Amino acid sequence: MGPHSSPRHLDKTTLGFFLVQVLTGLSSAASLFLVAAGLSLIFGVTRVVNFAHGSFYMLGAYFGLTLVALFGDWFGRGHLSFWSAILCAALVVGAIGALVEMTILRRIYRSPELFQLVATFGVILVIQDLALWGWGPEDKLGPRAPDLRGAVFILGQPLPRYDLVLIAAGPVVLGLLWLLLNRTRFGILVRAATIDREMVGALGVNQAWLFTGVFFLGSFLAGLGGALQLPKGGADLLMDFTVLAGAFVVVVVGGMGSITGAFLAAVLIGQLQAWGVLLLPQSTLVMMFLVMAVVLVVRPFGLLGRPELVGHGRQMLDDPLRPTSWRFKGLVLLLVLGLAAAPLYLGTYGLVLLIDILILALFATALHAIIGPGGLVSFGHAAFFGGGAYAAALLVKYAGTPMALNLVLAPPAAALLAIVIGWFCVRLSGVYFAMLTLAFAQIVWSVVFQWGEVTGGDDGILGLWRAPWVRGRIAYYYLVLGCCVAGILALRHGLSSPFGYALRAGRDSPLRAEAIGIDVRRQQWAAFTLSGAFAGLAGGLYAYSKGSVFPNEMAIVRSFDGIIMVFFGGVQHLSGPLAGAAALTWLKDSLLRLEMWRLLLGLAVIAIVILFPQGIAGFLKQRFGRFVGIRSELSS
Amino acid sequence: MKPLLELAGVSAAYLGAKILFDLDLSLADGEVVALVGRNGAGKSTLIKTVMGIQVRRSGSIRYDGQDIVRLPAHAIARLGVGYVPEERRVFGDLTILENLEVGRQPPRQGAPVWTTEALFEIFPNLEELRHRPAGQTSGGEQQMLAIARTLMGNPRLVLLDEPSEGLAPVIVEQMAAAVGKLKSQGLSVLLSEQNLRFAGVVADRAYVIESGHIRFSGSMQGLIENADVRRAHLSV
Ligand SMILES: Nc1ncnc2c1ncn2[C@@H]1O[C@H](COP(=O)(O)OP(=O)(O)OP(=O)(O)O)[C@@H](O)[C@H]1O
Ligand SMILES: [Mg+2]
């Protein structure tokens, strides 16, 4: 405010300022709403949470970029050319979504939830590399929309003109979607299938096409979201995860399956962002936590969501626990002895790999505890792995404490984080849980990434020197071996105790478990915390093994590493995570030399999910089941 | 005369539990056949087996001369088999009219063609409720809607699972009249019933099923007169 402003003028500017703030919030809600609405629609009908939805959004932006330029060359740079380019970009993305549905998801609708999530995650990896290959690593500036440069003034306050388009886009798309869902046969079938898709099939509707149609629509919306925000945000290779976390928050707050709920939640989050940035830049994320907390406490299924949509997913195969046989114990002992002797027969490089494998195996075992016996697929365990690593690193940086103490403190620090995050997440189950854990991990990651003054941001924290007694590689190897074996055995022991049984009971039949006096939610919360603590230990060991920490340790990809290891190894066995860790490390080690390792890893993962829709363990059981006395019921 | 529906040596199982054993059954074009049996006898399972939902099935199921045992439910429905489930399974959030729209299929040769108007004539209660969400209607109305929705697919054969279950006597009578009308239109009906009176009014023939086996088959009249079979395999 200038020195001349009279009180009345001041009122007017304040009002204008408020208005512009609200409008900015509304404009940033648009993309979020489009992505969340698509996610919600797809989930409603297919019951698959498409983790690749953020990637479709990113593709929308990139294709928009290309098509705007292309159409500009062909047809001039007028309105028609610009807007048809945006629309075409969305259509292309819709077609890609339909293709993904037909080639991948169609084969795994009956698979356990974990497999579906893994498969869509594979799609993310593939798209990341394809986008990198197609459009290069640099962030791209978006093209300006014709005649929408500059700003309009609202009560004397500037608002970018293009924001008006975005503000209108939300309600317009909401209205069009409403018409589509209520006034067309396709829409009525979609709504019916959201309620009871088997019945829709029994009435003669070919679900395959319905599902493909919904995937097209959902991906189209995501692509439109990405293309529409181009003039404002441009395109970059990180936007898939950024928007995914935001969309998950919106869907959870708005209520899964509700388009209107998604709109309300997107508006809410948009306002939070607009005002948060203004009041206190670092507070945006904290406020997001708070809003989610309030909503989830008051309405566990979101503003307009309904409980019946959230049911428990198809559970993983998990064999009943058997007391470990002497033979098995002998094998474990042999394995440990073999590992203990490793420095005798492995070179430096092999030892480094083995350290990685052991640490990852501990991480995977911790994650397995919540996925297998807990029945909850956490997609955010990197937060605790990275939490442990950063706890150790921050202690070094700010307190100068010795390594031993830092390693001891890393697990409780990660556990603390798990307590907070777990409090929210265990209120939900199934895919909701997976989405929320991913969203939280992404929030923690962005705090670390953005809060450079404290965490060093992208540059990470260097200088984690090991104590003199483990400075040598071999000595550190033994420390890691000791910690990991102890950690894995401790987890194993905990899960075959009454605590573990109660956890399984809660997974298999929550109502009955409650009836016999088990507080299922508390049990899961405790397991989540415990799991977080061990992941934190793995993170601490990892930090000291590398001597440095970077935000990557917390990124979604690290969470995915954990999921993949559990997935590779199966959820049955103690040896599963170890085998999974070895497989992943080996795969990455051989793929990383190649140019497009993400693409290859993604394709490998997708292929495994498709070839073994019941999991590798399930496949073996089916294949060789007759040797252990399982017969198909009909053949008897 | 060649039967419209013919089951030979059909077995069926849910995940883990075998329920139906080696059943034979046939139904001629235009016939109304009742499946009767106690709770848990396997009536609904048999109907789901024909429709191809939820169960794993084996044996031969021929509809209109075609083997349908490997077809998915939607393809079977597309051949003209309509299914009205025991639990009705109307789409609660959708209005009555929208529910009917979900069931709509193109006209089919050899089957009567239904319009919403024609259905409202049989089920007048539905007409005034047509804009109301199905979830906010009574059990009887939902049963009528479930039948009407299936008829929108212009089926030749309707599988009707316990149409009288849990309904007031007046509505049961209405149902019986409706089934009569379907028969007079030339539709074939396979219905499961515990209510022998209802079955007696509408059905030509009956099969008695118990523990997944067929224990009796014959004319409806024959069953009603056969006290031994009734005592042995039916509750009352
Ligand atoms: N989805 C299912 N999974 C496993 N078993 C089932 C399932 N549905 C039914 N059953 C079992 O199959 C058997 C036959 O059930 P069905 O529903 O066919 O009986 P019904 O004759 O229709 O009985 P009612 O008159 O009570 O409807 C019962 O023992 C039942 O417990
Ligand atoms: Mg029944």
Distance CA A383, CA A556 (A): 9
- Let me know if residue A279 belongs to a domain: no
Based on the domain organization, do A365 and A513 belong to the same domain? yes
Do A191 and B153 make contact, defined as CB atoms within 8 angstroms?
Answer: no
- At residue B14, the 3 state secondary structure works out as strand
pLDDT tens per residue across span B24-41: 999 999 999 999 998 889
Do A191 and B98 make contact, defined as CB atoms within 8 angstroms?
Answer: yes
Contact status of B135 with chain A (Cβ, < 8 Å): no
Task: Report the nearest-CA residue for atom 16 of ligand 1.
Answer: B42
Through-space distance between the first and last CA atoms of chain A, rounded to whole angstroms: 86
Atom of ligand 1 nearest to the CA of B47: 18
Based on the domain organization, do A225 and A351 belong to the same domain? no
**Side-chain-facing half-sphere of A25: CA atoms under 13 Å:** 23
Q: Report pLDDT for A133.
A: 94
Q: Is the CB of B35 under 6 A from ligand 1?
A: no
Do B74 and A202 make contact, defined as CB atoms within 8 angstroms?
Answer: yes
Chain B residues 204-233 with a CB less than 8 Å from chain A: none
- Let me know if residue A445 belongs to a domain: yes
Task: Report the nearest-CA residue for atom 22 of ligand 1.
Answer: B44
What CATH number does residue A584 fall under? 1.10.3470
Do B77 and A203 make contact, defined as CB atoms within 8 angstroms?
Answer: yes
Q: How confident is the model at residue B9 (pLDDT cuts 50, 70, 90)?
A: very high
Out of A207, A237, A267, a domain closes at: A237
Out of A183, A207, A237, a domain closes at: A237
Q: Is the CB of B47 under 6 A from ligand 1?
A: no
Sheet of B66-67: strand order equals B17-27, B5-14, B56-63, B66-67
Compute the nearest-CA separation of A631 from chain B (Å).
Answer: 10
Structure letter (DSSP) for residue A552: G
CB atoms within 10 A of CB A118: 25
Question: What are φ and ψ of residue A499, in 5° steps?
Answer: -60, -45
Please give the distance, rounded to the nearest whole angstrom, from the Cα atom of residue B79 to the centre of ligand 2.
Answer: 24
Q: Report pLDDT for A571.
A: 60
- Let me know if residue A42 belongs to a domain: yes
Mean pLDDT, rounded, of chain B:
91
Out of A237, A255, A270, a domain closes at: A237
Compute the nearest-CA separation of B78 from chain A (Å).
Answer: 5
Interface test with B, best of A203, A317, A622, A633 (most B CBs within 10 A): A203
- Let me know if residue A121 belongs to a domain: yes
Distance CA A499, CA A437 (A): 23
Chain B residues 6-35 with a CB less than 8 Å from chain A: 11, 13, 16-18
Q: Is the CB of B177 under 6 A from ligand 1?
A: no
Ligand lying closest to the C-alpha of residue B41: 1
Residue that the structure tokens 């350290």 belong to: A355
Contact list, B94 vs chain A (CB under 8 Å) = 188, 191-192, 195
Closest CA to B192 of B109, B75, B83, B67: B83
Q: Is the CB of B40 under 6 A from ligand 1?
A: yes
Based on the domain organization, do A336 and A204 belong to the same domain? no
- Let me know if residue A312 belongs to a domain: no
Plot region of A596 (φ>0 → left; ψ -120 to 50 → alpha; else → beta): beta
Tally the domains of chain A: 2
- Let me know if residue A472 belongs to a domain: yes
Q: Which residues pair with B62 in a beta bridge?
A: B6, B67
Q: Which residues pair with A151 in a beta bridge?
A: A160
Do A199 and B85 make contact, defined as CB atoms within 8 angstroms?
Answer: yes
Task: Report the nearest-CA residue for atom 4 of ligand 1.
Answer: B14
Sequence letter at residue B229: V
- Let me know if residue A603 belongs to a domain: yes
Question: Residue A144 belongs to what domain range?
Answer: 34-237
Please give the distance, rounded to the nearest whole angstrom, from the Cα atom of residue B46 to the centre of ligand 1.
Answer: 10
Percent of chain B with pLDDT over 70: 99
- Let me know if residue A276 belongs to a domain: no
Please give the distance, rounded to the nearest whole angstrom, from the Cα atom of residue A314 to the centre of ligand 1.
Answer: 22
What mean pLDDT comes out for the span B12-20? 88
Q: Report pLDDT for A632.
A: 32
Q: Report pLDDT for A629.
A: 33
Interface test with A, best of B54, B71, B74, B104 (most A CBs within 10 A): B74
Compare CB distances from B98 to A188, A199, A201 and report the shortest one's residue.
Answer: A188
Distance CA A550, CA A567 (A): 26
Complex ipTM, two decimals? 0.95
Mutation to probe ligand 1, out of B15, B19, B210 (largest number of atoms < 8 A from CB)? B19
Distance CA A279, CA A95 (A): 42
- Write out residues in chain A with pLDDT < 50, as ranges: 1-7, 309-317, 625-636
Cα distances (Å, whole numbers) of residue A280 to A272, A273, A286, B102: 11, 10, 10, 51
Compare CB distances from A201 to B56, B74, B99 and report the shortest one's residue.
Answer: B74
Q: Enumerate long-range contacts of B18-21, CB under 8 Å, 24 or more apart.
A: B18/A633, B18/A634, B18/A636, B18/B212, B19/B45, B19/B55, B19/B212, B20/B45, B20/B46, B20/B49, B20/B212, B21/B212, B21/B213
Contact status of B88 with chain A (Cβ, < 8 Å): no
